[in-house]
Amino acid sequence: MQNKVLKELVIKGKKIQIVKGDITEEESDAIVNPANNYLRHSGGVAGAIVRKGGKIIQEESDKIGYVPTGNAVYTSAGSLKAKYVIHSVGPRWGEGDEENKLRSAVRNSLKLATELKLKSISIPAISTGIFGYPKREGTWVILDEVRSFLENEESTIEVVRLTNIDDETCNLFLEHIEKLGG
């Protein structure tokens, strides 16, 4: 399956794209891995990224070690098409202050991409899988934080691709982007 742009919103000349497809196939400068605090990439999107990109991603992650919730770090992307994998630690549903922690995870991923002088980044629906963040609320928070960042921050980022493989998540992002005028 080839990744497909379903909808696009332009904010201050920068694009937010809703993409249906496999994040490991993205050709963005960086893809975001919804990581756990210890950067152990065994299941879900994280597992798929390491399986496709190679063990170098896990080896570099092991050297980094613990990452607090809401923060982001990066490794190389191994044999993926992207140059970097940004490992973003979102909250587990029920731990408290989830919205602020999710916003921080998204914002810190975008800041890190800017520090690396990247032009494009692909982000999945962080925390809405095994971490249990309700998909409807989580997708809104992610989209709203990306919008806010592009509107208010100086950044090298030209394109943010909200990339997900499942219809439910893509449809929620589409619903939300309509509210923003996309």
Token digits for 174?
Answer: 């589409």
Model pLDDT, residue 80: 98
User: Per-residue confidence at 44, pLDDT binned at 50, 70, 90?
Assistant: confident
Domain boundaries along the sequence of the chain: 4-179
pLDDT, mean of residues 57-83: 97
Q: For residues 61 and 88, give the distance between their C-alpha atoms in angstroms, rounded to a whole number.
A: 12
Model pLDDT, residue 91: 98
- Are the C-beta atoms of residues 106 and 145 closer than 8 Å to each other? yes
pLDDT, tens only, 108-149? 999 999 999 999 999 999 999 999 999 999 999 999 999 999
Tell me the CB-side half-sphere exposure of residue 158, using CA atoms within 13 A.
Answer: 5
pTM, two decimal places: 0.96
Answer yes or no: is pLDDT of 1 > 70.
no
| Phi, psi of 153, rounded to the nearest 5 degrees | -115, 145
User: Per-residue confidence at 2, pLDDT binned at 50, 70, 90?
Assistant: confident
Give the mean pLDDT of the chain: 96
- Are the C-beta atoms of residues 145 and 108 closer than 8 Å to each other? no
Residue % of the chain over a pLDDT of 90: 95
- Are the C-beta atoms of residues 62 and 89 closer than 8 Å to each other? no
4-179 folds as: Leucine Aminopeptidase, subunit E; domain 1 (3.40.220)
Q: What one-letter code names the amino acid at 32?
A: V
Token digits for 15?
Answer: 């694009």
User: Per-residue confidence at 9, pLDDT binned at 50, 70, 90?
Assistant: very high
Q: Which residue in 110, 114, 108 sits closest to 162, CA to CA? A: 110
